[in-house]
Amino acid sequence: MKNRAFFTDFVPVLTGSGKSGNRRRTEEEWKPIFEAALNSSDWILEDTGRLIFSEGLKRAEKIALLELPPLVIRFRLVRRYLRQKLGLESCAYPLRHHQ
């Protein structure tokens, strides 16, 4: 893949506006970046469950669906949660426990 375009709507911005100093890009910021990525010769899009990525799904040449077994997903979620609570893994969002 020669031309690597990267897009994310959550980027580290050292503004001090949040606890971690991160903020979400505004729509005016991320739309041109996303469009440039889609117009490049090669791109990979992940986390496509969000509405903002629907145009990427329409324009994709190939779509690969990665389905993990539910037990693997649960294990990874619990492991990540515990690692973040113990401070062994960084986290850009506040951890919440839902009962």
Residue range 58-76, pLDDT digits in tens: 898 888 888 999 999 999 9
pLDDT tens, 20-53? Answer: 556 667 788 878 888 888 888 888 887 767 787 8
The reply to whether 90 and 51 lie within a common domain is no
pTM for the full predicted model: 0.55
Claim to verify: residue 72 and residue 61 sit in the same structural domain = no
Range of the domain at 24: 1-66
9 and 47 belong to one structural domain? yes
Distance of CA 57 to the CA centre of its chain: 15
Q: Which two tokens stand for residue 11?
A: 């980027």
- 39 in the same domain as 73: no
Q: Is 54 found in the same domain as 31?
A: yes
| Angstrom distance (rounded) from CA 90 to CA 96 | 14
**Same domain as 81, residue 38:** no
Element (H, E) at 55: helix 54-59
Beta bridge partners of 23: 11
> Residues 60, 72: one domain?
no
What pLDDT sits at residue 91?
Answer: 75
Q: Same domain for 53 and 72?
A: no
Count of structural domains within the chain: 2
Whether residue 49 sits in one domain with residue 3: yes
